[in-house]
Chains A and B, each alone.
Chain A
Amino acid sequence: MQDKIVITGIGVLSSIGIGKDAFWQALQEGKSGVKPVTLFDTSKLKVKMGAEISDFNPGAILGEKGLRNLDRATKLLLCAGKLALDDAKLEITEENSTSFGISIGTTLGSLWSISEFDKSALRDGPHFVNPAEFPNTVINSPPSQLAIRLKSKGPCATISSGFTSSLDAIKYGIDLIRNKRAQIVLGGGVEEFCEQTYLGFYKVNFLAGVKGPELNCPFDQRRNGIIFGEGSAILVLESEESAKKRGANIYARILGFGTYFYPYAINKYEPQGYGLKKAMRLALDDASVAPFEVDYISAAANSTRDADIIETGAVKDLWGAKAGKVAISATKSMLGETFSASGVLAAVATTGSIQKGFIPATLNYKEKDSSCDLDYVANSARKAKINKALVNAFGPSGSNSCMVIGE
């Protein structure tokens, strides 16, 4: 019998709030993190909007020392780690350091650092690059820096599976606990707001505002692309037994997980959603939960033409005639598309739903698309008792993951 895994601590930094209380409050109020980009110049682009964390002050959370050479993604993750450990009332000491694991999803985190490092080499010559900037150029830098800062000596992993990274990292963390390689795991993800990623998405016409209005409106007829966002979050994961033994506060239980990689074409969503349907079925089977028992689906829908209709189709496939009865909402309508961090941010949001008894709204839903005709909890949050929920993540390069969370 597999260990039951629970969430006993939460650290979150998002464009709508820092810290779980502010985050959950903002979700209930339907606050949007989307605003004009300030971190770099967008004057030469057709698009101007993004979901940055405008009030990010790492020194306030971490103290000022030791942050000088760390990039934004790393600082976001370190902050999430500190908030999560404090929330779980845990301290990593010399005695317990080998019992902690770290498993973080991040994919694009080092793009800015690589770009800066290369610019130095081109501008000043290769001999004059700053060696202290080099560690940031590898994708495993944020979780590694977290382990270094926390002096955590257990397993440390970086999962880079694109859109599903942070959900996949949580699963990896769950497996670490079940395989007795760690007692407590900090599982989550991070993605920073950076110019290179923004330009990349812009050039492949993935951003809203290139082929239509610059709106963040999942499931809406006017949707035409994502609004890019950033965020980081960490869940403190442990077995229910471990949590009860130390008298920890349990926020939610992870009931099941499913993942299915279905290759189709790079940067193109597979139109039938075969992989997503499989991932959702596998998750529900793993949790021994039937579709009718699910109170809420935290959708991965991100205001692209394809993703939103594919996810709608997947729900119809699994729920059949009852598809219109299950509440679905897209927190990306508030947070933007945070890529690798999206899964864990949705998991934190859904944990808030369970704790506080509400379903966050899908914002900006005004014009109905006849092919997206389910209950999307349009525009305002809804009071509801959430016993069991699904958290989806999938992307246009084959990865699909789904997690079932419950009370």
Chain B
Amino acid sequence: MSQTKTVENEIKEIIAQILEADPAKITLEARFVEDLGMDSMMALEIVAAIEKKYKITIPEEELMKLASLGNVIEITKRYLNK
């Protein structure tokens, strides 16, 4: 339980830094592109940062699904446990 909370906060922090957005605005449902102004370079950067931090590789076909914080946490946890 506490491990999940840490991962969620870490990911939120990474995303907040890359999007230069207020962490309060990065809710589980807030959409990166439409609500938080993410562009394609920022998307690549988020993936690279998460892969580097957790030493995982997220396959190409999953990248399209990373539309919100909730999605990112779910996919990261899935590959962390592999």
Contact = CB atoms under 8 A, between A and B. Distances in A.
Chain B associates with chain A: yes
B64 interface: no
A149 to B, nearest CB: 13
A127 B49 CA distance: 11
Secondary structure call for the B interface: helix
B51 A131 contact: no
A124 interface: yes
Nearest to B20: A65
Contacts of A66: 20
B54 to A, nearest CB: 11
Contacts of A203: none
A233 B67 CA distance: 41
Given A131-B44, A131-B45, A68 B20 contact: yes
Nearest to A65: B20
A127 B50 CA distance: 12
Interface in A38-95: 64-66, 68-69
A128 B48 contact: yes
A69 B41 CA distance: 10
Interface string A118-135: 000000100111111001
A130 B48 contact: yes
A174 to B, nearest CB: 33
A128 B51 contact: yes
Interface in B38-58: 41-42, 44-45, 48-49, 51-52, 57
Contacts of A131: 41, 44-45, 48
A284 to B, nearest CB: 47
Nearest to A124: B52
Interface of A: 64-66, 68-69, 124, 127-132, 135
Given A68-B17, A69-B41, A128-B48, 5 more contacts: A66-B20, A68-B18, A131-B41, A131-B45, A131-B48
28 contacts: A64-B20, A65-B20, A66-B20, A68-B17, A68-B20, A69-B41, A69-B45, A124-B52, A127-B51, A127-B57, A128-B48, A128-B51, A128-B52, A129-B48, A130-B45, A130-B48, A130-B49, A131-B41, A131-B44, A131-B45, A131-B48, A132-B18, A132-B41, A132-B42, A132-B44, A132-B45, A132-B48, A135-B41
